[in-house]
Amino acid sequence: MTSGRGWRYAAPRPTFGRMAILPPMVGPRAALGDLLSFMRQRSREQVIGAALALLVTMIILIVFFVDSKINTAPGPTVVYVENYGPDRTDADIIADQKKASEQKRKAEEARRREFQKLEKQLGIE
């Protein structure tokens, strides 16, 4: 395309064609230097506030990491097993079941009496 004077127009280009999409990668030293130079331009109160904010954040993160390691494994499970001989009869099994159910009933009754006593002490009806 040309103008009326014979000049050629330049081909249209993107405005930021030479600019990179993402900034170049920088190292931790450069990032720390940028942070320090930024913080030097701030007032004392802003620096103290930023330091406290970072400190509280770090403490919270440390507490989460430490707490995740504490008491995560389940405790040991103890299982008591009674061994019976192979010559045990059905009558023996039924007698043992009756004895166990009677012990369970007595324990429930004792617990019920404890709650009734507590109910009378507290005046709950």
pLDDT confidence bin for 23, thresholds 50/70/90:
low
**Total-model pTM:** 0.35
At 25, list the tokens: 């990668």
What is the DSSP annotation of 33-93?
HHHHHHHHTS-HHHHHHHHHHHHHHHHHHHHHHHHTTTT-SPPP---------TT--HHHH
Q: What is the pLDDT of residues 79-122, one digit of tens each?
A: 998 888 889 899 999 999 999 999 999 999 999 999 999 999 99
For the chain, the structural domain boundaries read 28-67, 83-125
Using DSSP, state whether 107 is helix, strand or coil. helix
Contacts of 47 (CB under 8 A, 6+ apart): 39
Contacts of 1 (CB under 8 A, 6+ apart): 8, 9
One-letter amino acid of 111: R
